[in-house]
Amino acid sequence: MHDQAIGAWLDALASSAPAPGGGAAAALSAAIGAALIEMVCNLTIGRPRYAAHDALMREALARATTLRHRALALAAADARAFGAVTDAYRLPRDTAEQARARAERIQVALIGATEVPLQTAALAGEVVQLAGRIADGANVNALADVAAAAASARAALETALVNVEANLAALPDRSRGGELRERSTGVATLVAEAERTIRRIRGKVGT
């Protein structure tokens, strides 16, 4: 994904090919959010007017860079995990024995595939929190970009969570998704936090 041209990647996303899909879109949205955090930090660091926030901005910059690169890695992990799911669905189910084996493979693959969007959601939640942390000390000319970072990260968060929900709903044995469902519920509280952060930052723009 790192080396792929934007136009070609969007063409692939738009196609019916199994990957890239929603998981990769979530990861890219998270990466866009992280990059916007970095941009704001870069526009703030070293300016005398914002000297009091210099340490915070440097710390946020380093963290956002790490998150951005990790987001792209998650997009690749999502494609691999989703490949295992589609492989499992393609297994034969002509006999009761085959159907049982296939359901078990689907179960295992879906649980593995749910791990990736859960991590993407957590990462996106952290980008939203970074936006909230830098909002007060950011270069005022870049405040709109702090809001933009939070909006992108929220889209990543929601996209990842809806993928988690779809995977859990598709489990052949739904009784065995408990731990994932709990983690999903935990991550979902980040959506409300994102909402509050975005509203607070937007309130600062243009004032």
The residue ranges that bind its own copies (CB under 8 A) are: 1-7, 9-11, 13-16, 21-22, 25-26, 28-29, 31-32, 34-36, 38-39, 42-43, 64-65, 68, 72, 143-145, 147-148, 151-152, 154-155, 158-159, 162-163, 165-166, 168-169, 198, 202, 205-207
Distance between CA atoms of residues 57 and 42, nearest Å: 8
Least separation, in Å, of the C-beta of 149 and its own copies?
Answer: 8
Least separation, in Å, of the C-beta of 162 and its own copies?
Answer: 4
Of 4 and 185, which has the nearer Cβ to its own copies? Answer: 4
**Bond into 18 cis (ω within 30):** no
Host H or E run for residue 65: helix 54-89
Distance between CA atoms of residues 68 and 127, nearest Å: 9
Of 28 and 133, which has the nearer Cβ to its own copies? Answer: 28
Least separation, in Å, of the C-beta of 108 and its own copies?
Answer: 19
CA distances from 7 to 21, 99, 125 (A): 15, 41, 27
Of 6 and 52, which has the nearer Cβ to its own copies? Answer: 6
* Residue 115: alpha-carbon gap to chain centroid: 12
Of 133 and 201, which has the nearer Cβ to its own copies? Answer: 201
> Any idea what DSSP says for residue 9?
H
